[in-house]
Structure 1
Amino acid sequence: MGIVILGDGYITDIGYTSDFYSEMAPSHLAFSSLVAGCDPGGTLRPGRVLELGFGQGFGLALLAAANPDIVFEGCDFNPAHVAHARDLVESAGLTNLSVAEASFEAMAARAGDGNVDIVLLHGVLSWVAKEAEEAILQILRQRLRRDGALYISYNCLPGWAPLVPIRQLIIDIKRRHAGNSQSQIAAALDLLAQLKEGNATYFACNPMASVHLEAMLAQDRVYLAHEYLSDHWRLFQFSEVAARLGQADGLGYIASATLTENFDQFAVPANLQPLMAQTGDPILRETLRDVAANKNFRRDIFGRASRILSKAERREFLGQMLFAPAVPRRRQQFKFRGPLNELIGKEDFYSPIADMLAERFATFDELLALPSFGEHAVDRLVECLALLIHSGQVVPFVMRPTTDPEPARRFNRMIVDRARGGRLYGYLASPVAGTGIRIDDFGLLTLAAVFDGKADTPLAAARHGLSIITALGRRPFDNARALTEDDEAIEFLSARMKPVIEDDIPLWRRLGML
């Protein structure tokens, strides 16, 4: 493949992974702000959203499909990323999304007119040069409305501190390995694995580094190349990010988009919670939380409308929100992964919520009226909803006029059509919830059968699904074993497509996806 191609120190010879992050949906940002007791500002009913550095553009295109009443725009300097994003836009017929091939410096030079309600900056800050960082601040000053909000995610300290030598060794190998990014990351992983297996003292003295390397060995190599091979790689203290964003016309911290991190009882060891409670400085408090949880990645919301709401104001805003299930009722469970450990929800609180949402989408007021809650238990309901949303089982959305479902349905058909050709994306767009709903390979195969009129029974859908897989020269796998016999493969597929037909598809129809 020749020498790795770099664009000002960035990885450009391989495209970034295509994924969707629900934390970037406007309604999620609004709910996160309310969880923290802050004014949601422009996240509640945005008119325009800008993403800086959109990668492959899948998440941005999905949000545009799910929110046709919002204007979306994005910029990325990588031509391949922009081409992929434009292909998604054209194939799905999205008229509310425009993407530009441009550096942040070029975009900042164009100025702006303060017309953006939300700026999205996912996984960018830790991997850009100082000049690009300055351009980002300038774009925020130019484009973000006075009540606008910024979503920003980045690698942080102290969690990354023990892992710095891993990254530095990868960079040293890159500089001495005349190959492309994939061969460089493969060579680095091989050498790191040999060091660990040979009982290198670094790994013996840093158990976290050992665990981290094991995870790396199982991860997507394309993701790892973008994560570790860029010449620009910085680790931030939260206070440093907050100070820099304060220079963008006073952007202040609002909340974490990782909902569980807004609750000290989930995010901080019990014996440190009194220390958090008596720390009045919000910047220092977040720094202490990071140390208490050894945090290595943050998803923050900043805004100029970072006003603390009164209880009455917060209650009024919460009353404008609705909630819907993202997975069928029979698959919901009340065990949640928290920042520190697993959390177990009480059936008395969670089952009534899940039961009501299985019957109909419900407002905050309707859920609060359940016998388990009441006006005295607003905080309890907020906590329950936060955990259900964090676990991907419920989605929040804001009351709005009827939304045209067709862009999302075109987008979803496109995703299913691409699955037939072997290109798999893990989410579909919901125009009701304004966000993405996770779908696995079996769900995509089942929808292909539905769209082709071959899903009268799970067995019929399985036969059709096997024909799609076979046309790609592939076979279904059961626990890493290829199913070479058709009868066995059809039985396997039928068992997994049956719950999709019975449970998922009815829910997807309720969510406006089909």
Structure 2
Amino acid sequence: MQNAQRPNLENGAYVTDVTYPAQFVRELMPLWLGSTLTSLGRLAPDVDQAFDWLELGCGAGLSTLVAAANHPAAHFTGIDLSQREIERATALATRAGLANVDFICQSIEAAADAENSTSPPKRDFIVCNGVYSWVGEPVRKAVERIVAQQLRPSGVAYLSYMSQPGAASFSAAQRLLRLMARGHPGDSAAQARNGMNLLLSLEQAGAGYFVEHPAAARDMQQASAGSDAALAHEYLNEHWQAFHAADILQSFTSIGCEWAGSAMPLDNIDAVSLPAQVQPIVQQLRQQGADALLLETVRDIARNQNSRMDIFQKARSSLATNRLDLSEHRQALLRQKVMLAPPARLGELTSGQHLVLSTRIGPVDIPFAQVQPLLEAVQDAPRSYAELASLPAYAGNPGFINQVLQVLAWAGWIRFIRSPTSTDLEEIEQRCQRLQQVLKDAGLGDWHIDAHAATAMPQGSA
């Protein structure tokens, strides 16, 4: 390996020679984020009105395109350092007739430097998915500068990253992948697959690393099932770091943001995301006044969390808060509306069965009798939270519906949908249908873009 080549990286840091796989992330969608904030008792942006959205590291722009199609009154911007990805995203937007979205070829550092810190904040949403753990500190600091400078008070920042302790066990395997890439010809995708084949051989041979770290073996098997390009972008970058949630929360607090919760609703509900024996420990810590830094660290240890999707909100003035009082929270919940998704699945269950959720702590059983009245109520037509709260099964505990809806949304059983005062859905449906066809023609998948729920899913799961 004396003449071995380095992985194909931009400035020696980030893979750019192979196309980043087009990826839709439902947790980035404005309606999803708003519904999650409402469930948490926080002020949520009105996504039926005009707003401004920025995605940092948008790649092929699939999530930004879906959001733009669903929200014609809003303006969307996606930035990425790959000229190829930006040209592809721009072409897709043009063919779909989406005039409310711009894609800019620019590094995150350049975007932060270009912003005049004296100009007023203008963004209602700033989202950054699949970037933070794979870039160096200067880029991470640039992300934080953009949020500090551009996010409006009460605006929403979303950040995904690999987290401790769950992702830490794979760091040795990631290093091996990078080392193997040095000695293999071809592009980054071929290099990544070559390294993954060696890892699989080591695991099958009983290497002690995988015996002692079964989570690493599980993560490797899952990663291996993906495309070679996805492997390259995930594991061949120079920077690959799992962060402690407490450090991220502290960093965003220092730029005037409040941690709101997780964009993965299940992680906001201890009763279904933590082992039963851990729940009273967390409850005791809360009663003792433990802050979010400690509580989230305990939760991450309890789940062996390997990734996080954190939601932050820009703080308001000292005289205002992003937290709703009990009456405001109740009214915000009652205005929510949901639909069953997809309807056919309800017939698969009977009252004696359980919904089984696959979670970080293993299978979690929910007796079907607890959710049957709710699911039956939405089987034929969308229902409001107020209508569900009036069902006899929940009359004594209407707050229970909040958690049930969040769990079912996470599991893909229900979808939150637009309010009755939403923008004309007929126009939005036409925009979504055009984008569906454009994506299909471009070979980016056969998608169903749901104008009611303002989200997308592969055809066949709709």
- The normalised TM-score by structure 1 is 0.80
Q: How far apart are the structure 2 equivalents of 1:418 and 1:256?
A: 29
Q: How far apart are the structure 1 equivalents of 2:436 and 2:367?
A: 37
Task: Report the AA paired with residue 257 of structure 1.
Answer: A
Match of 1:288 among 288, 295, 298: 298
Task: Report the AA paired with residue 214 of structure 2.
Answer: P
The question of whether the paired residues in 1 share the 8 Å contact of 2:304 and 2:360 is answered with no
The question of whether the paired residues in 1 share the 8 Å contact of 2:120 and 2:150 is answered with yes
Could you say if the C-alpha distance between residues 168 and 227 of structure 1 is closer, same or farther in structure 2, counting changes exceeding 3 Å? same
CA deviation profile, 1:155-181 (whole Å, cap 9, x unmatched): 000001221110011111223334310
Q: How far apart are the structure 2 equivalents of 1:30 and 1:437?
A: 19
Q: How far apart are the structure 2 equivalents of 1:4 and 1:211?
A: 25
The question of whether the paired residues in 2 share the 8 Å contact of 1:329 and 1:355 is answered with no
Could you say if the C-alpha distance between residues 37 and 380 of structure 1 is closer, same or farther in structure 2, counting changes exceeding 3 Å? same
Matched, 1:297 2:307: yes
The question of whether the paired residues in 1 share the 8 Å contact of 2:346 and 2:375 is answered with no
Aligned to 2:144: 137
The question of whether the paired residues in 2 share the 8 Å contact of 1:3 and 1:179 is answered with no
- Tell me the CA shift for residue 87 of structure 1: 1.6
Q: How far apart are the structure 2 equivalents of 1:86 and 1:411?
A: 16
Q: How does 1:384-423 map to 2 (within 5 A)?
A: 384-399=404-419, 400-416=421-437, 419=440, 423=443
Task: Report the AA paired with residue 304 of structure 1.
Answer: K
Aligned to 1:251: 257
Match of 2:283 among 266, 277, 282: 277
Match of 1:193 among 200, 213, 223: 200
Q: How far apart are the structure 2 equivalents of 1:214 and 1:404?
A: 42
Aligned to 1:39: 43
Could you say if the C-alpha distance between residues 217 and 231 of structure 1 is closer, same or farther in structure 2, counting changes exceeding 3 Å? same
CA deviation profile, 1:50-94 (whole Å, cap 9, x unmatched): 111111111110111112122111111111111121121011100
Aligned to 2:360: 339
CA deviation profile, 1:472-494 (whole Å, cap 9, x unmatched): xxxxxxxxxxxxxxxxxxxxxxx
Aligned to 1:173: 180
Q: How far apart are the structure 2 equivalents of 1:159 and 1:239?
A: 15
RMSD: 2.3
The question of whether the paired residues in 1 share the 8 Å contact of 2:377 and 2:383 is answered with yes
The question of whether the paired residues in 1 share the 8 Å contact of 2:79 and 2:106 is answered with yes
Aligned to 1:115: 122
Q: How far apart are the structure 2 equivalents of 1:180 and 1:214?
A: 22
Higher helix proportion (structure 1 or 2): 1
- Tell me the CA shift for residue 257 of structure 1: 0.8
Aligned to 2:318: none
- Tell me the CA shift for residue 240 of structure 1: 0.8
Aligned to 1:473: none
Could you say if the C-alpha distance between residues 297 and 270 of structure 1 is closer, same or farther in structure 2, counting changes exceeding 3 Å? same
Q: How far apart are the structure 2 equivalents of 1:247 and 1:309?
A: 23
Aligned to 1:89: 93
CA deviation profile, 1:71-120 (whole Å, cap 9, x unmatched): 11111111111112112101110011111111111111221531111111
The question of whether the paired residues in 1 share the 8 Å contact of 2:134 and 2:239 is answered with yes
Decide which moves more: 103-112 or 85-94: 103-112
Q: How far apart are the structure 2 equivalents of 1:160 and 1:338?
A: 16
Match of 1:227 among 214, 234, 240: 234
Task: Report the AA paired with residue 42 of structure 2.
Answer: C
Could you say if the C-alpha distance between residues 151 and 23 of structure 1 is closer, same or farther in structure 2, counting changes exceeding 3 Å? same
SS of 1:358's partner is: coil
- Tell me the CA shift for residue 27 of structure 1: 1.6
CA deviation profile, 1:428-454 (whole Å, cap 9, x unmatched): 2222222224424xx8xxxxxxxxxxx
Match of 2:79 among 50, 75, 79: 75
Q: How far apart are the structure 2 equivalents of 1:134 and 1:11?
A: 20
Task: Report the AA paired with residue 329 of structure 2.
Answer: R
The question of whether the paired residues in 1 share the 8 Å contact of 2:6 and 2:182 is answered with no
Q: How far apart are the structure 2 equivalents of 1:373 and 1:391?
A: 21
The question of whether the paired residues in 2 share the 8 Å contact of 1:19 and 1:425 is answered with no
Decide which moves more: 409-418 or 392-401: 409-418
Aligned to 1:267: 273
Matched, 1:18 2:25: no
Please list every run of 5 or more consecutive structure 2 residues that lacks an aligned counterpart in the other structure: 316-320, 350-354
- Tell me the CA shift for residue 237 of structure 1: 0.1
- The normalised TM-score by structure 2 is 0.88
Q: How many residues align?
A: 438
Q: How far apart are the structure 2 equivalents of 1:204 and 1:341?
A: 19
SS of 1:37's partner is: coil
SS of 1:176's partner is: coil
Match of 2:67 among 50, 63, 67: 63
Q: Percent identity?
A: 27
Q: How far apart are the structure 2 equivalents of 1:5 and 1:191?
A: 19
CA deviation profile, 1:404-439 (whole Å, cap 9, x unmatched): 5335434434534654x5824253222222222442
CA deviation profile, 1:291-329 (whole Å, cap 9, x unmatched): 011000001101124744332221111122211223124
Aligned to 1:427: 447
Task: Report the AA paired with residue 101 of structure 1.
Answer: C
Larger radius of gyration: 1
Q: How far apart are the structure 2 equivalents of 1:297 and 1:405?
A: 37
Aligned to 1:6: 9
Aligned to 2:54: 50
Could you say if the C-alpha distance between residues 329 and 368 of structure 1 is closer, same or farther in structure 2, counting changes exceeding 3 Å? farther
Decide which moves more: 8-17 or 193-202: 193-202
Could you say if the C-alpha distance between residues 207 and 336 of structure 1 is closer, same or farther in structure 2, counting changes exceeding 3 Å? closer
Please list every run of 5 or more consecutive structure 1 residues that lacks an aligned counterpart in the other structure: 444-503, 505-514
| Greater relative contact order structure (CA < 8 Å, 6+ sep) | 2
Task: Report the AA paired with residue 229 of structure 1.
Answer: L
Aligned to 2:324: 309
